[in-house]
Amino acid sequence: MPLRDSYELPSERVEAELRRRLAEEWHSGERLPPLSRLAAEFDVSQGTVARVLRKLAAEDPPLVRIRPRWGAFRT
């Protein structure tokens, strides 16, 4: 994935890409890939991906729903 801005934080890059994919690729109720796969894909830590997913889950309305031990799902 090409960097758009060298000053962009990794979490900002992950958030932008997840928002795009949530809008274009994943359907309501669909399970997102595991944290480990997303982290590897974005070349960031699992903590970074988890933080972004929590942010998306806290929005009103939430873009994802996080179910412990089950994963994250598109709302």
The per-residue pLDDT for range 6-48, each reduced to its tens digit, is 689 999 999 999 999 999 999 999 999 999 999 999 999 999 9
Distance CA 18, CA 40 (A): 14
pTM: 0.88
Domain 10-74 has CATH 1.10.10.10: yes
Q: Are 48 and 10 in contact (CB under 8 A)?
A: yes
**Residue whose pair of structure tokens reads 């070349």 in the numeric block:** 43
Each residue of 50-70: pLDDT tens digit? 999 999 999 999 999 999 999
